[in-house]
Every structure is written in C-alpha cells, then in structure tokens.
Amino acid sequence: MRQLIAGNWKMNGLQERAAAIAAPLRRGADGLGCDLLVCPPATLITTVAHILAGSEVAVGGQDCHARGEGAHTGDISAAMLRDAGARYVILGHSERRADHGESDEMVRAKTVAATAAGLTPIVCVGETEAQRLAGEQNAVVGGQLAGSLPEGFVGVVAYEPVWAIGTGRTPTEEDVAAMHGFIRGRLVALLGEGGAGLRILYGGSVKPSNAAALLGLPEVGGALVGGASLQAEDFLGIARAARA
Ligand code: PEP
C-alpha cells in the first residue's frame, strides 16, 4: 500500500496562509509515489478543499464530535467536516487527550461517528516520556488501541510518542520499528485479518532530513507531520522521501 503523508496544521493559519500552503502542494503533488493529506483548522477546510479539488491531495479535519448534531456549542460533527470537503479526520491526538481530557472511550465514540459519516479516521496513540522511561510504552499504547478502536475498525493508526511532538526529538529507528511491529500485532489480535493491512503512521518531529530513515522502517505506513506541514516545500520534501 502507498504510504500516507498527512499534515496536521493544528491551530495555525488564516485564509491567506492556507492558500499559500495549499497552492504549491497542488502543483507539487503530481507524480509522487505516496498519498497526501492536509488537515487544516475547521475554518479553512472549505477553502483548502476548493484549492485542492481534483488534485492528488486530500483534506481532513483535526477532531469531530461523537454526536451527529444537537446542543453542543462550539463542536463540529463528522458530517459537517465531510460537508465542508474533508475525507479524513484525526482523532485522539495527544493534544486533545491532554487539553480536552479525551479518554479512549470518547475517541472510540468519535471514531464510530466519523466512520458512519464516511470519513476515514486517523486514531492517534502514544506514550509520554515518563511512561517510556518506565518501560510502559507497550502497555500504554496497547491499552489505547484496545480502548479507542471500535470493533471492525477500518482506518489509519498514528503512533505519536508525546515527547517527540514538536520537540525536534525522535525515538531511535529501532524503537520506532519495535513499536510499529507491536502495534501491528495488536491490530491483528483486535481486528483479525482486517488489522493486517491498516496503515500505521509515525508522527513526532518528522522533517525532510529524517523522513527517509523513518519512512523506510518496517511497518511504517506513512507519517503524521505537524510543524513541517506548515511549509509546502518541507511537506513535499517529506513526501518525496516516502516509499512507493
Ligand atoms: C503532531 O502534532 O501530530 C506532530 C507530529 O507534530 P510535529 O511534527 O510538529 O512533531
């Protein structure tokens, strides 16, 4: 399967900047050997989807509510994301787990809602630095997978060690390969054959200079990119390092 390079813009960008990133992506995406996705803030999804319409680059959201509609001030449903032009949605990012107290149960309910609305969920898991230092990373990630993925899950899993996000630090290649192998085993145990073909992205300080090494590792099905996705040339540099 082609690798997926997904950009998470987080809470960055106004209309002008969105166009400045998306337009060069549209031009640069042709002929790449991977799939490309950008996840702008909800306010920019329509703009970015319009700029990227008919291109090789898909658009996604960064979160959705578990309910389809109703009295949830400030929230956005999966159907609203899809209506705005999104095809994917990031769920359970560590910043949402930390800033909004999102539990595995909440992530699971959002994943069900996203799937029902026709979005491909990208479910994020990953340990904190203290958990890794205590040797608890497999127990933590295994628990997050068991709690966050609904029965019959079809989508993408992103392994993002919390301590590597936005810090410029990455795990060793051995540690990334070991964790991705562990996640593959858990996916097959939880989902059966369906778990064998799901993409597992690595996320955490991916940049053009380390992308080839990380994307070349076994069971790495792509990358979830934060900071470097805000510069079209850096994001395309990572995409060019992807395995076909
Ligand atoms: C992220 O937040 O998903 C992420 C991977 O960020 P960064 O690439 O900036 O570490």
Question: pLDDT digits over 85-128, tens only?
Answer: 999 999 999 999 999 999 999 999 999 999 999 999 999 999 99
From the CA of 164, give the closest atom in ligand 1.
10
* Structural contact between residues 125 and 93, judged by C-beta atoms closer than 8 angstroms: no
Out of 62, 123, 165, 234, mutate this one to test ligand 1's pocket (max ligand atoms within 8 Å of CB): namely 165
* Structural contact between residues 3 and 243, judged by C-beta atoms closer than 8 angstroms: yes
Residues forming beta bridges with residue 89, ordered by sequence position: 61, 121
Ligand 1 site, CB within 6 A? 8, 160, 165-166, 203-206, 224-228
* Structural contact between residues 108 and 147, judged by C-beta atoms closer than 8 angstroms: yes
From the CA of 95, give the closest atom in ligand 1.
2
Atom 3 of ligand 1, nearest CA residue: 226
CA of 238 relative to ligand 1 center, distance in Å: 13
pTM: 0.98
Residues forming beta bridges with residue 203, ordered by sequence position: 224
| pLDDT confidence of residue 244 | 66
CA of 207 relative to ligand 1 center, distance in Å: 10
- Beta 156-159 vs 199-203: how paired, if at all? parallel
Distance, CA of 40 to CA of 38 (rounded, Å): 6
Distance, CA of 39 to CA of 51 (rounded, Å): 13
pLDDT at 30 over 80: yes
The residues that are catalytic are 93, 160
- What's the token pair of residue 38? 């950008």
How would CATH label the architecture of 4-240?
Answer: Alpha-Beta Barrel (3.20)
Q: What is the mean pLDDT of the chain?
A: 97
* Structural contact between residues 51 and 82, judged by C-beta atoms closer than 8 angstroms: no
| pLDDT confidence of residue 108 | 98
| pLDDT confidence of residue 243 | 73
- What's the token pair of residue 81? 């994301």
From the CA of 93, give the closest atom in ligand 1.
3
Q: How far is CA 53 from CA 8, 49, 58, 218, in A?
A: 19, 6, 8, 32
Atom 6 of ligand 1, nearest CA residue: 226
Residue in this structure with the two tokens 């107290």, named with its chain if needed: 101
Residue in this structure with the two tokens 């939880």, named with its chain if needed: 190
| pLDDT confidence of residue 106 | 98
From the CA of 124, give the closest atom in ligand 1.
3
Out of 8, 125, 167, 209, mutate this one to test ligand 1's pocket (max ligand atoms within 8 Å of CB): namely 8
Helix (H) or strand (E) holding 138: helix 137-148
Instruction: Map out the domains of the chain as residue ranges.
Output: 4-240
- What's the token pair of residue 46? 């329509």
